[in-house]
Amino acid sequence: MHRSSSDLETENRDLRARLEAAEEMLRAIRSDEVDALVIEQGGAERVRTLGGADEAYRTFVEVMCQGAATVATDGSILYCNPHFAQLLGRPVDRIIGSSVFELVAAEDEGGFRALLWEGISASCAGRPFALRRQDGSAISTIITATPLCVGGTSCVLIVLTDLTEREARISAEAANRAKDRFLAALSHELRTPLTPVVMVVSALEIDARLPADVRDDLAMVRRNVELETRLIDDLLDLSRVISGKLRLRAEPISAKALIENVLD
């Protein structure tokens, strides 16, 4: 499936909308505007009644599908939800108490510090950042920042969405498009020399003066041209099979006929 730039822009808008919806839900919870949450577990939904803003906030953050963490102004991580820890490949107890800047790729640290500083006083829209997992690999994310007060102390709530899988899919699709373009060009270049050969053979075959042995040779040339054409088609079909655009169907064949064709 090929994606246009408008498709990618739409997906980016959807991701930002999800982050904004999560932020709005957190804001409503902190303002005591939510009395209960519907939580999906194991394919079933259950309603959890909330006793107060703190309990509601923690319940929502624990089950949300984005990674979330409460960060002090010096970068210390005061809390993170399970999804945050999962995305970074680290246990929750190893993340809490550590510095959030240890998780940010070196090239993005300056931008992340700016986001955190701005997030102390105002909500910040999602921005792209690369984070480091425990195994050293990097993940691409979009992160938002929202002011949060914990025990009278100003903090920042960061919410992140993983873009790594999406970027890998985009890269794979781009590689497939490049491969398809290459095979199409290759097919054209391979077929072009065969056309004049077929035309010459066809012209000679209608000449009644040709001896039988020459006609046999022309028939062999035609068969080989047709075989070359089928090989080109098979090359394109193999590409379609690999990309899932073509399904193979097994059928019985005559081994004798196959061997005779090969010997010809």
pLDDT tens-digit readout, 189-202: 878 888 888 888 88
For residues 119 and 249, give the distance between their C-alpha atoms in angstroms, rounded to a whole number: 58
Q: Where are the beta strands (DSSP E) in the chain?
A: 36-41, 44-49, 67-72, 77-80, 124-132, 138-150, 153-162
Q: What is the pLDDT of residues 130-147, one digit of tens each?
A: 999 888 888 888 899 988
- Give the whole-number percent of the chain exceeding pLDDT 70: 75
For the segment 245-261, the average pLDDT, to the nearest whole number, is 80
Number of Cβ atoms within 10 Å of the Cβ of 199: 10
pLDDT value at residue 47? 37
Pick the closest to residue 64 from 44, 80, 43 (CA basis). 80
On whether the CB atoms of residues 150 and 78 are closer than 8 A, the answer is: yes
On whether the CB atoms of residues 154 and 73 are closer than 8 A, the answer is: yes
Alpha helices in 158-206 (DSSP H): 164-191, 194-205
- Of 155 and 22, the structure prediction assigns the larger pLDDT to 155
pLDDT value at residue 197? 85
pLDDT value at residue 7? 66
Residues in contact with 74: Cβ distance below 8 Å, sequence separation at least 6, in sequence order: 99
Q: What is the pLDDT of residues 39-87, one digit of tens each?
A: 455 554 443 434 444 555 566 567 677 888 989 989 999 888 888 999 9
Taking CA atoms, 143 is separated from 58, 125, 156, 181, 194, in Å, by 19, 8, 12, 36, 57
pLDDT value at residue 37? 44
For the segment 11-26, the average pLDDT, to the nearest whole number, is 66
- CA dihedral of 42, 45, 48, 54, whole degrees rounded to 10: 70
Tokens matching residue 198: 């077929």
Tokens matching residue 194: 């065969």
> pLDDT band at 117, cuts 50/70/90?
very high
CB hemisphere CA count around 208 (13 angstroms): 0
Tokens matching residue 158: 């960061």
- Domains of the chain (ranges plus CATH)? 5-162 (3.30.450.20), 167-249 (1.10.287.130)
